[in-house]
Amino acid sequence: MTLLTTLLLTTTIATAGVQDTFVVGDGEGADYESISAAIDFIEGEDSSDGYIILVLPGTYVLDHLSIISIEPLTGPLRIQAAAGPGTVAIDGVGNYRCMQSEDVDLTLVDLTLQNGYTSEDGAGIHCDGGSLTLEGVTLANCSAESDGGGLYATWAAVEISDSEFDSCTSDASGGGVHCDHEALTLTDTDFSNCSASSSGGALAHGDGFSAIGCNFNGNSAADSGAIHGSSQSTVAIDACTFQENTALTGNCGGLFLADQCSYTVQYCVFSGNSSAGAGGALYAFGASGLLQHCTFEFNQSTSATAGAVVLYSWTNQDSVFLIENCSFDTNTAHAQAGAINVHELGSTLSLTIRDTVFEHNASTSSTGGAIHAVSNGEIQTSIDVDTCRFHDNTADDDGEAINLTGSSITLTISDTLMCDHAFQNEINGRYTDVGGNDLGGWCCPGDIDANESVDVDDLSSLLAVWGSTTDGDSPSDVDRDQSVMILDVIDMFRHWGPCG
pLDDT tens-place string over residues 69-114: 999 999 999 999 999 999 999 999 999 999 999 999 999 999 999 9
Name the 3-class secondary structure at 41: helix
**pLDDT above 80 for 7:** no
Q: How far apart are the C-alpha atoms of 408 and 11, rounded to whole Å? A: 65
pLDDT tens digits for 347-404? 899 999 999 999 999 999 999 999 999 987 778 899 999 999 999 999 998 899 999 9
**pLDDT above 70 for 429:** yes
Q: How far apart are the C-alpha atoms of 99 and 62, rounded to whole Å? A: 10
Cα-based distances in Å from 243 to 32, 131, 177, 441:
43, 30, 18, 34
Q: What is the share, in percent, of the chain residues with pLDDT greater than 70?
A: 96
| Strand ranges (E), 64-173 | 69-70, 77-81, 88-91, 99-109, 112-114, 117-118, 125-135, 138-140, 143-144, 151-154, 157-161, 164-166, 169-170
Give the number of other CB atoms < 10 A from CB of residue 230. Answer: 21
Residue 382 CA, chain-centre distance (Å), reads: 26
| Ramachandran angles phi, psi of 493, nearest 5° | -65, -30
Q: Which residue has the higher pLDDT, 27 or 5?
A: 27
Q: Out of 16-30, 159-173, 262-276, 328-342, which region has the weakest mean confidence (pLDDT)?
A: 16-30
**pLDDT above 50 for 9:** no
Q: Are strands 394-395 and 417-419 parallel, antiparallel or unpaired?
A: unpaired
Q: Out of 56-60, 411-415, 461-465, which region has the weakest mean confidence (pLDDT)?
A: 461-465
Q: How far apart are the C-alpha atoms of 133 and 109, rounded to whole Å? A: 8
Instruction: Give the pLDDT score at 46.
Output: 87
Average pLDDT (320-334) is 97
* Side-chain half-sphere exposure of 142, counting CA atoms within 13 A: 41
pLDDT tens digits for 207-233? 889 999 999 999 999 999 999 988 778
Average pLDDT (421-433) is 90
**pLDDT above 60 for 318:** yes
Instruction: Give the pLDDT score at 445.
Output: 80
Q: Which residue has the higher pLDDT, 85 or 446?
A: 85
**pLDDT above 60 for 1:** no
Question: Which region, left, alpha or beta, applies to residue 300 given φ > 0 means left and ψ of -120 to 50 means alpha?
Answer: beta
Q: How far apart are the C-alpha atoms of 300 and 149, rounded to whole Å? A: 27
- As a dihedral over the C-alpha atoms of residue 482, residue 483, residue 487, residue 488, rounded to 10 degrees, the angle is 80
Q: How far apart are the C-alpha atoms of 248 and 225, rounded to whole Å? A: 8
Q: Of the candidates 339, 437, 450, 479, which has an alpha carbon nearest to the alpha carbon of residue 395? A: 339
Q: Out of 33-37, 211-215, 304-308, 395-399, which region has the weakest mean confidence (pLDDT)?
A: 395-399
Average pLDDT (339-352) is 92
pLDDT band at 5 (very low <50, low <70, confident <90, very high): very low
Instruction: Give the pLDDT score at 18.
Output: 57
Instruction: Give the pLDDT score at 258.
Output: 85
Average pLDDT (49-61) is 97
Name the 3-class secondary structure at 37: helix
Q: What is the share, in percent, of the chain residues with pLDDT greater than 90?
A: 75
Instruction: Give the pLDDT score at 372.
Output: 96
Which DSSP state fits 483? B
**pLDDT above 90 for 249:** yes
Q: How far apart are the C-alpha atoms of 317 and 480, rounded to whole Å? A: 46
Instruction: Give the pLDDT score at 13.
Output: 36
Average pLDDT (191-195) is 98
Q: Of the candidates 262, 272, 282, which has an alpha carbon nearest to the alpha carbon of residue 218? A: 272
Q: Residue 80: beta bridge partners?
A: 54, 109
**pLDDT above 70 for 282:** yes
**pLDDT above 90 for 471:** no
The answer to whether residues 339 and 371 touch, using CB atoms and an 8 Å cutoff, is yes
Residue 141 CA, chain-centre distance (Å), reads: 22
Instruction: Give the pLDDT score at 188.
Output: 98
The answer to whether residues 361 and 330 touch, using CB atoms and an 8 Å cutoff, is yes
Q: Are strands 497-498 and 453-454 parallel, antiparallel or unpaired?
A: antiparallel
Q: Of the candidates 242, 258, 168, 169, which has an alpha carbon nearest to the alpha carbon of residue 207? A: 258
Name the 3-class secondary structure at 495: coil
Average pLDDT (418-438) is 91
Alpha-helix residue ranges (DSSP H) falling in 249-339: none
The per-residue pLDDT of the chain, averaged, comes to 92
Q: How far apart are the C-alpha atoms of 172 and 195, rounded to whole Å? A: 9
Instruction: Give the pLDDT score at 259.
Output: 78
Q: Of the candidates 286, 284, 276, 192, which has an alpha carbon nearest to the alpha carbon of residue 237? A: 284
